[in-house]
């Protein structure tokens, strides 16, 4: 029996550039080894799961194209690299910058100097207030990009089993977007662009997402990283439900590749942290929750496969961030370069391991 192959991708904001580069490298190796330049990740995995930025990638890789020769992926993995590297700044465009551009539009071209002075003063006045009472980034450009990249592709149409997580603030329950469920029930079918928006609606960064199914049912959702920054364990349970029907020792029949968005502990000084209030803890709590969730799931999955004597069928790829920052929203040219370097350094240092992963994908 061939093993069910699962690709799982972590959350991490702009750090999604790291798994995008790693998976592009794997796709290129698969193309070389199969002598098929048109091969894509969707040809080799039975399920692609993701949270937040990983959820965006999962949806992106599984969008079908209109192909006369049968279903085929619309995008190659290299296009995801371009999405993060070239459009990251547009996704993380400060809300205050968007507002200022609108406010200062009434200045005529011959008053550019006055416009600049006014904008600088207004920026100074609004920055502190905006940081306290509103999310940091505008969702408008983000949603525009998702629509451009994904169009109106539906969850029910994905090439393989797509599995993406989010969290409903109205019901206080996790939400699992799943292709089989979408095919079965129209009220669980959504546009991929909307699922991508929901799974990545990180509190304090973006406004929560209000998305409607194709049946018109609306959910109010936030980032899936709240409870599953590393969705690998959720994906394994999902696979058991749909592929194995609760078969005992089901991990015997699985291959799991889990891809992280960069490993680096964000350290906090005790003397400073002991006096923090709500505002100071907002971002650190998010970072701590995400980091802890990633590590505990990796541990649990390792133990699960080890207990079934199948440790060789679970791989975790987690590069060190090196000079890149842990921040989810740092889209400076320097940090984009550092994120690329982190991924490329990992590839260079783990060439044999990656080759082993590719061989297993092809053989199992």
Q: 7-37: per-residue pLDDT in tens?
A: 999 999 999 999 999 999 999 999 999 999 9
Residue 87 has pLDDT above 50, yes or no: yes
Q: Kindly state the tokens that stand for 5.
A: 């192959």
> What digits encode the pLDDT tens for the residues 88-106?
999 998 865 544 444 444 4
pLDDT at 93: 81
Dump pLDDT digits (tens) for 327-344.
889 999 999 999 999 999
C-alpha pair distances (Å), 294 with each of 6, 249, 343? 17, 24, 18
- CA torsion sign, 240 to 219 to 231 to 142? positive
Burial of 252 (0-12, 13-18, 19+ CB in 10 A): middle
**Residue 61, number of CB atoms within 10 A of its CB:** 29
Residue 258 has φ and ψ, to the nearest 5°, of: -110, 125
Q: Within 10 A of 25 (CB to CB), how many other CB atoms are there?
A: 20
Overall pTM surpassing 0.75 (yes/no): yes
Q: Which pair of tokens denotes residue 254?
A: 């699985």
Residue 121 makes CB contacts below 8 A (sequence gap 6+) with none
Q: What is the pLDDT of residue 291?
A: 80
Query: Across the strands, what pairs with 164?
Result: 50, 177
For the chain, where are the E strands, in sequence order?
A: 4-9, 47-51, 64-65, 72-73, 161-168, 173-178, 209-212, 218-223, 254-259, 314-317
269-322 residue pLDDT tens: 888 888 888 778 877 777 777 788 899 999 999 999 999 899 999 999 999 999
């Amino acid at each position: 029996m061939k093993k069910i192959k699962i690709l799982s991708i972590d959350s991490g904001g702009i750090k999604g550039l790291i798994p995008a580069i790693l998976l592009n490298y794997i796709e290129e190796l698969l193309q070389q080894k199969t002598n098929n330049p048109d091969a894509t990740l969707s040809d080799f995995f039975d399920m692609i799961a993701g949270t937040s930025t990983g959820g965006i990638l999962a949806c992106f890789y599984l969008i079908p194209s209109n192909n006369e020769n049968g279903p085929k992926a619309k995008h190659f993995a290299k296009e995801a690299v371009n999405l993060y590297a070239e459009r990251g700044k547009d996704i993380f465009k400060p809300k205050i910058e968007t507002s200022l551009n609108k406010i200062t539009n009434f200045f005529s071209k011959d008053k550019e100097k006055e416009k600049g002075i006014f904008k600088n003063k207004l920026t100074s006045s609004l920055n502190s207030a905006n940081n306290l009472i509103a999310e940091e980034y505008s969702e408008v450009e983000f949603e525009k990009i998702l629509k451009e990249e994904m169009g109106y592709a539906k969850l029910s149409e994905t090439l393989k089993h797509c599995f993406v997580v989010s969290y409903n603030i109205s019901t206080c329950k996790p939400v699992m977007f799943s292709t089989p469920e979408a095919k079965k029930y129209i009220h669980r079918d959504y546009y991929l662009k909307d699922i991508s928006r929901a799974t990545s609606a990180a509190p304090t960064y973006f406004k929560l997402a209000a998305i409607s199914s194709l049946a018109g049912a609306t959910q109010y959702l936030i980032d899936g990283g709240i409870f599953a920054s590393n969705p690998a364990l959720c994906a394994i349970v999902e696979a058991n439900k749909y592929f194995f029907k609760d078969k005992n020792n089901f991990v015997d029949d699985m291959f799991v590749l889990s891809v992280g968005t960069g490993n680096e502990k964000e350290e906090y000084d005790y003397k400073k942290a002991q006096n923090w209030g709500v505002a100071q803890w907002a971002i650190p709590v998010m970072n701590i929750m995400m980091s802890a969730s990633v590590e505990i799931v990796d541990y649990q999955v390792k133990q699960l496969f080890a207990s079934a004597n199948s440790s060789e069928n679970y791989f975790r790829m987690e590069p060190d961030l090196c000079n890149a920052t842990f921040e989810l929203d740092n889209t400076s040219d320097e940090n984009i370069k550092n994120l690329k370097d982190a991924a490329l350094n990992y590839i260079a240092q783990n060439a044999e391991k990656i080759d082993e992963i590719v061989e297993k994908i092809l053989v199992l």
